C-alpha cells in the first residue's frame, strides 16, 4: 500500500455502507438549529469581541477528516492570533485553515493563545459552539469521535483510523468527558475506538449529560 494512499481509499467497503441512526440524526439537526437561533445574540457578542481583539474574522474553518474519509471543514471561533496579525486587519466571514502543526501542542500554556478572552472561550468550550452548524448540515454528530486531521489519524491512529471514521465525528465524545486536554493521543484513540465499538443510546445520552457538567465546571479544558 502506498504511503500516499488517502484514508478514504483505505476504508473497507462495509464501512462506506455504514449507516448512522436516522432518527437521532434528524433530532440532532433540529436541535442544533434551535440552539443556534436561541444563542444567536450571545454568539454575535462573542464574534464581535473576537473581531475587535484580533482584527481578523471571528470564525475559522479547520480541515479535518469526516465520516468515511470525506473532507470536513469544522467551524470554530478564532482563539489564536498574534499582535502582528491584529495590526494587519484581514476581516472576512470565515478563514479556512489547513494546518497539521496542532498535533504538537498539548500544553495548557499554548503559546498560540495570546488573549485572556480567547483562553476563557477555550476553557468553557465556547469556541466549539459554531460546530452546531456542522451538525445542522449533517456533517457532524453531537456525540462521536473527535474530528482529526489526516496527519493525526495516520500518526496516532494508524490502521484503526478506518474504524473511527465509520461514525460521524462528534462535537463531544468519550474522551472529552474523561480528561479532555490532559489526555494523551493514545488514551484518546482507545476511547474513540471504545465509543465506536460500543455505540448505544445509553452511552450517547450519558456523554451528552456529562459534557454539560464538564463544560460548566471548565474541567481540563485549554
Other Cβ atoms less than 10 A from the Cβ of 78: the count is: 23
Residue 42 included in any domain: yes
| Residue 14 domain flag | no
Q: Is residue 7 part of a domain?
A: no
With contact defined as beta carbons under 8 Å apart, do 164 and 193 qualify? yes
Alpha-carbon distance 153 to 215, whole Å?
A: 26
Residue 13: the pLDDT is 39
The number of distinct structural domains making up the chain is: 1
Q: pLDDT band for 107, please (50, 70, 90 cuts).
A: low
Which range marks the domain in which residue 114 is found?
20-217
Task: Report pTM.
Answer: 0.83
Predicted local confidence at residue 36, as pLDDT: 97
* 44: its cell numbers: 454575535
Query: Residue 47: which pLDDT band, with cuts at 50, 70 and 90?
Result: very high
Higher pLDDT, 179 or 16: 179
Is 81 part of any domain? yes
| Residue 5 banded pLDDT, cuts 50, 70, 90 | very low
Q: Any alpha helices (H) in the chain, and if so which ranges?
A: 7-10, 13-16, 22-38, 40-54, 83-86, 116-123, 131-136, 150-152, 161-164, 185-197, 201-217
Amino acid at each position: 500500500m502506498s504511503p500516499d494512499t488517502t484514508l478514504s481509499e483505505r476504508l473497507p467497503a462495509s464501512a462506506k455502507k455504514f449507516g448512522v441512526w436516522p432518527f437521532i440524526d434528524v433530532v440532532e439537526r433540529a436541535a442544533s438549529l434551535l440552539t443556534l437561533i436561541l444563542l444567536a445574540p450571545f454568539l454575535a457578542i462573542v464574534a464581535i469581541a473576537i473581531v475587535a481583539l484580533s482584527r481578523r474574522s471571528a470564525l475559522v474553518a479547520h480541515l479535518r477528516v469526516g465520516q468515511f474519509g470525506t473532507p470536513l471543514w469544522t467551524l470554530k471561533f478564532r482563539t489564536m492570533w498574534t499582535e502582528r496579525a491584529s495590526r494587519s486587519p484581514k476581516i472576512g466571514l470565515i478563514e479556512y485553515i489547513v494546518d497539521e502543526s496542532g498535533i504538537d501542542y498539548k500544553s495548557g500554556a499554548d503559546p498560540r493563545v495570546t488573549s485572556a478572552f480567547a483562553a476563557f472561550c477555550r476553557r468553557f468550550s465556547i469556541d466549539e459552539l459554531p460546530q452546531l452548524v456542522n451538525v445542522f448540515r449533517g456533517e457532524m454528530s453531537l456525540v462521536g469521535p473527535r474530528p482529526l486531521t489526516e496527519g493525526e489519524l495516520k500518526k496516532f491512529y494508524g490502521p484503526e483510523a478506518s474504524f473511527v471514521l465509520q461514525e460521524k465525528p462528534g462535537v463531544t465524545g468519550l474522551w472529552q468527558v474523561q480528561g479532555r486536554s490532559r489526555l494523551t493521543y493514545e488514551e484518546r484513540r482507545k476511547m474513540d475506538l471504545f465509543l465506536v465499538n460500543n455505540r448505544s443510546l445509553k452511552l450517547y445520552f450519558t456523554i451528552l449529560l456529562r459534557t454539560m457538567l464538564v463544560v460548566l465546571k471548565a474541567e481540563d479544558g485549554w
